[in-house]
């Protein structure tokens, strides 16, 4: 009578395989010479009471670093990263991020890995003087969308009539001093009394002291 074949202990095999994999990973992570691209938050500081960026400033910067596997793994999963501070003292004369300064700042920030070089999508930055300018508001009365045979029969009330805009000097100086507000809607035949949103309310560069204006006027049908 032949002896019964021994059953393979799959649980023991899986545990052994798992242990071998863990050992291999830990051994690999202890080695030096790995390199990796890691993103860090960056905060660019400047005198924002006098100057304004004319294009979005970078919020993150990518860096190629090298070190042991453990060190790179810790840096990759550092979710609460404090932003790297980058000060600009002369915004109107600064056109590019200084990669040398950034490399030194990052090297001070992460001492346990070697910073090799900066990997950035763009290095260009642009600033302008920040100013405020007042603009006269008027209703575009020639293009009020009235129903046929209907007319505006009263004075058009508009409040406010002056809008203050804050933004880049070059942009504001190129703008006409009068801003015409379009009345929304179709085939208006009733008296109008509503608030109209200003076209600059959602602009990322320009800031206004008002986001809406109040407009009212009366409408009558022409006698046939």
pTM of the shown model: 0.71
Predicted confidence (pLDDT) per residue in 31-50, tens digit: 555 667 777 788 899 999 99
Left, alpha or beta for 183 (phi > 0: left; psi -120 to 50: alpha)? beta
- Condensed to tens digits (0 to 9), the pLDDT of residues 120-150 reads 656 789 999 999 999 999 999 999 999 999 9
* The pLDDT value given to residue 69: 53
For the stretch 146-171, pLDDT in tens is 999 999 999 999 999 999 999 999 99
Please tell me the distance from the alpha carbon of residue 147 to that of residue 190, in angstroms, as a whole number: 9
Rounded Cα distance, 133 and 172, in Å: 7
Structural domain boundaries in the chain: 32-125, 130-221
Give the model confidence (pLDDT) of 169-215 as tens digits: 999 999 999 999 999 988 999 999 999 998 775 667 899 989 899 99
Q: What is the pLDDT of residue 108?
A: 73
3-state secondary structure of 175: coil
Strand 150-152 relative to strand 34-45: parallel, antiparallel, unpaired? unpaired
Q: Does domain 130-221 have CATH number 2.130.10.10?
A: no
């Amino acid at each position: 009578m032949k002896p019964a074949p021994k059953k393979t202990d799959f649980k023991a095999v899986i545990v052994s395989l798992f242990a071998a994999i863990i050992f291999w990973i830990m051994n690999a992570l202890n080695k030096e010479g790995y390199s990796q691209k890691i993103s860090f938050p960056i905060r660019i500081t400047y005198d924002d009471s006098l100057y304004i960026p004319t294009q979005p400033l970078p919020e993150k910067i990518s860096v190629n670093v090298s070190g042991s596997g453990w060190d790179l793994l810790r840096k990759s999963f550092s979710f609460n990263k404090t932003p790297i501070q980058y000060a600009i003292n002369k915004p109107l004369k600064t056109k590019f991020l200084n990669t040398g300064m950034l490399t030194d700042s990052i090297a001070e920030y992460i001492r346990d890995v070697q910073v090799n070089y900066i990997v950035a999508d763009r290095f260009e930055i642009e600033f302008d003087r920040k100013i405020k300018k007042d603009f006269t508001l008027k209703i575009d009365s020639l293009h009020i969308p009235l129903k046929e045979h209907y007319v505006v029969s009263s004075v058009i009330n508009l409040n406010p009539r002056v809008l203050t805009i804050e933004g880049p000097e070059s942009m504001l100086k190129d703008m006409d001093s009068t801003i015409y507000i379009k009345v929304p809607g179709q085939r208006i035949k009733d008296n109008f009394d509503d608030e109209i949103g200003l076209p600059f309310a959602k602009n990322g560069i320009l800031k206004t002291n008002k986001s809406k204006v109040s407009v009212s006027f009366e409408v009558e049908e022409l006698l046939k």
